[in-house]
Amino acid sequence: MNQYSYDEIDIGHKESFEVTITEKMLDSFKSITGDCNPLHADAGYAKSEGYEGRVAYGMLTASFMSTLAGVYIPGERSLIKESKIKFAKPVYPGETISVEGEVTDKNETFHMIVLKVTMKNEKGEKVLRGSMDVMIRQAK
Amino acid sequence: MNQYSYDEIDIGHKESFEVTITEKMLDSFKSITGDCNPLHADAGYAKSEGYEGRVAYGMLTASFMSTLAGVYIPGERSLIKESKIKFAKPVYPGETISVEGEVTDKNETFHMIVLKVTMKNEKGEKVLRGSMDVMIRQAK
């Protein structure tokens, strides 16, 4: 886990990681949220609707924005204030997604950074675009 | 699970449900995302930082927007295109959160509804405000 302070982060700073989406993640997300929508739970239904199989919950894919802020940038002292998410393409279990955050702005008054978030599949296609306003908590 | 079609939904339509946030949910969310930030994982650390205890991941609380769209409104034929989330107050395990969605706009061309999302704790304090653009898939 990174521990960047506000001053250690410059505009243009990038952090990234990869994650493979699994059926188990979809099952766990369903257990947490109670979202039993068959597009995510039932491969047969999803196929009959024109998809390759169970579609990952958009908000599950978006959950890796939590990891991006809380582990990578800024890491420990992260506090997400706001996030905006656009879902561009379906994500399927078995796919490996790259998650990248780039600092596009800083606000000294609020000790806040703005992260542009891009997630891509193995074909290089964007599956999610977003942004986050992340406060960097000061040490007590 | 509801199965509203585009035509069955009017502006002003509201749906809501309640959910109690549990430590187990935080543990599951950590397992899925790998977000090991101690603010969410370590009660002692969170208290030393001025919080009441482990703080629920913001993106975990936001995950119930998936349930709101995928189960309640429109339900089965939901496809979230975009979401905007503002985190207003910390949420703690043990708290019961009300999740409400209200249709504020409709777009016939894209078969899309706009949902205003409000989540409140038991004291009636807003913990999350947001919105979602949700496409309603047509039957194949």
pTM of the model: 0.97
Tokens 């890796």 belong to which residue? A64
Res. A6: pLDDT tops 80: yes
Please name the member of A82, A86, A140 whose beta carbon is closest to the beta carbon of B82. Answer: A86
Ordered by start, the domain boundaries in chain A are: 10-21+58-136
Q: Please give the structure tokens belonging to residue B128.
A: 């999350």
Q: Do the beta carbons of residue A28 and residue A93 sit within 8 Å? A: no
B76 close to A (CB below 8 A): yes
pLDDT at A63: 98
Please name the member of B67, B80, B86 whose beta carbon is closest to the beta carbon of A87. Answer: B80
Distance from C-alpha of B43 to C-alpha of A105, rounded to nearest angstrom: 32
Chain A with chain B: Cβ pairs closer than 8 A: 130
Q: What percent of chain A has a predicted confidence (pLDDT) above 70?
A: 99
Q: What is the ipTM of this complex?
A: 0.96
Reported as a single tens digit per residue, the pLDDT across B35-93 is 999 999 999 999 999 999 999 999 999 999 999 999 999 999 999 999 999 999 999 99
CATH architecture of A10-21+58-136: Roll (3.10)
pLDDT at B51: 96
Q: In this structure, how many other beta carbons lie within 10 angstroms of the beta carbon of residue B44?
A: 10
Kindly report the CATH class assigned to B6-21+57-136: alpha beta
From A26, A43, A44, select the one nearest A35 (Cα to Cα).
A26
Q: Please give the structure tokens belonging to residue B3.
A: 């199965």
Section A4-25 average pLDDT: 97
